[in-house]
């Protein structure tokens, strides 16, 4: 790990150089490089940043969660459809089974369109950031995602477990993402089929907020604790041993 003292004016090029020199598996060195990006920003704007930067981070985190909701809902409906089709073929069809199938197919078509739209928004969000003054945060976000299993950090796994997700159960579904979609990697949402089966019911609208706490990063490092947690986990990709540095 580099031993230099963190300097708020450290060039972003040095952080990028460290990320190139140290492999993805060297979490300590890469976390240090990510923190250098943060210190560079904080050295310029103290504990806050322009609202548009916070809005961009809010958007990217929200899109990441929403696209996983779409994927997990798709997988759940496909599983239910397959089960009902099996019952129909075995002449054990339940009342309204065909109507359910038709409704689910309609919803799957809408979900397919939602996936395309959110996937495009995520891709554009990764390309459109042009303000060089705050580019270190953008660079840090992209650096995290060079690791295909970035989402299996201890911070995000613990968050999934605390929200009632599969990381808190023996199934560990988050470690075995579906291959149906390129963005299937990630943690449980309110639409996770395994979680629905474990609970025994689908969440009503007023219950869904208990599955995913609200967050808002427009306040910089003065944002609430859960928002800062998501900043550390989603934007900087820090591991637990580095998450207490600020």
Q: Which domain holds residue 234?
A: 12-213+222-242
Indicate the range of 1-10, 40-49, 161-170 predicted with least confidence.
Answer: 1-10
Q: pLDDT at residue 176 above 50?
A: yes
Residue 225 near residue 155 (C-beta atoms within 8 A): no
Q: Is residue 88 part of a domain?
A: yes
pLDDT at 29: 63
The answer to whether residue 146 scores a pLDDT higher than 80 is yes
Given this model, what pLDDT does residue 27 score? 59
Amino acid 2: pLDDT = 41
* Confidence bin at 18 (pLDDT 50/70/90): very low
70-120 pLDDT, tens digit each = 999 999 999 888 877 766 666 655 655 777 788 889 999 999 999 999 999
pLDDT for position 6:
40
Specify the pLDDT at position 74: 95
Residue 1 lies in a domain: no
pLDDT tens digits for 202-240? 999 889 888 999 999 888 777 889 998 998 899 888 866
Residue 38: predicted pLDDT: 67
The long-range contacts involving 105-112, CB below 8 angstroms and separated by at least 24 positions, are 105/81, 107/73, 107/77, 108/74, 108/77, 108/78, 111/70, 111/73, 111/74, 111/77, 112/74
Question: Residue 25 above 80 pLDDT?
Answer: no
> Scanning the structure block, which residue is given the tokens 């940043």?
49
DSSP for the chain, please give it.
---PPP-TT--HHHHHHHHHHS-TT-HHHHHHHHHHHHHHHHHHHTT---HHHHHHHHHHHHHHHHHHHHHHHHHHHHHHHHHHHHHHHTT-PPTTHHHHHHHHHHHHHHHHHHHHHHHHHHHHHTT----GGGHHHHHHHHHHTTSTTGGGSHHHHHHHHHTT-GGGSTT-GGGS--SSSTT--S---TT-HHHHHHHTSPPPHHHHTTTS-----TTGGGS-HHHHHHIIIIIS---GGGTT--
Query: 92 in a domain, yes or no?
Result: yes
Rounded to whole angstroms, the Cα distance separating 86 from 83 reads 5
Asked whether residue 38 is domain-assigned, the answer is yes
Reply yes or no on whether the pLDDT at 16 is more than 70.
no
- Percentage of the chain lying above the pLDDT 90 cut: 36
Q: What mean pLDDT comes out for the span 161-186?
A: 90
Establish if 139 belongs to a structural domain: yes
Residue 5: inside a domain: no
Q: Per-residue DSSP letters for 137-179?
A: HHHHHHHHTTSTTGGGSHHHHHHHHHTT-GGGSTT-GGGS--S
For range 137-152, the mean pLDDT: 86
pLDDT of residue 44: 55
Question: Do the domain assignments include residue 111?
Answer: yes
pTM of the model: 0.80
Average pLDDT, the chain: 79
Q: Provide the sign of the torsion angle of the four alpha carbons 87, 88, 93, 95, taken in this order.
A: positive
Q: What pLDDT score does 209 carry? A: 86
Domain total in the chain: 1
pLDDT bin (cut points 50, 70, 90) of residue 145 is confident
Q: What is the mean pLDDT of residues 9-18?
A: 47
pLDDT of residue 28: 63
The answer to whether residue 6 sits within a structural domain is no
């Amino acid at each position: 790990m580099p031993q230099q003292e963190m300097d708020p004016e450290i060039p972003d090029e040095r952080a990028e150089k460290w990320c190139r020199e140290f492999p993805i598996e060297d979490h300590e060195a890469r976390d240090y490089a990510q923190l250098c990006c943060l210190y560079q920003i904080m050295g310029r704007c103290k504990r806050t940043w322009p609202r548009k930067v916070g809005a961009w981070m809010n958007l990217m985190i929200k899109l990441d969660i929403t696209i996983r909701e779409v994927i997990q809902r798709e997988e759940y409906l496909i599983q239910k459809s397959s089960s009902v089709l099996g019952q129909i073929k075995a002449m054990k069809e339940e009342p309204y089974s065909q109507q359910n199938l038709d409704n689910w197919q309609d919803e799957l078509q809408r979900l397919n369109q939602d996936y395309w739209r959110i996937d495009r928004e995520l891709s554009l969000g990764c390309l459109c950031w042009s303000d060089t003054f705050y580019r270190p945060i953008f660079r840090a976000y992209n650096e995290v995602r060079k690791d295909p299993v970035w989402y299996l950090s201890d911070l995000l796994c613990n968050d999934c477990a605390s929200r009632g997700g599969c990381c808190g159960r023996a199934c560990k579904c988050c470690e075995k993402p579906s291959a149906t979609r390129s963005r299937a990697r990630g943690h449980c949402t309110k639409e996770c089929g395994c979680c629905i089966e474990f609970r025994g019911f689908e969440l009503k609208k007023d219950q869904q907020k208990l599955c995913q706490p609200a967050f808002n990063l427009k306040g910089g490092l003065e944002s609430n604790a859960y928002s800062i947690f998501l900043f550390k986990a989603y934007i900087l990709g820090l591991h637990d041993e580095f998450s207490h540095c600020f």
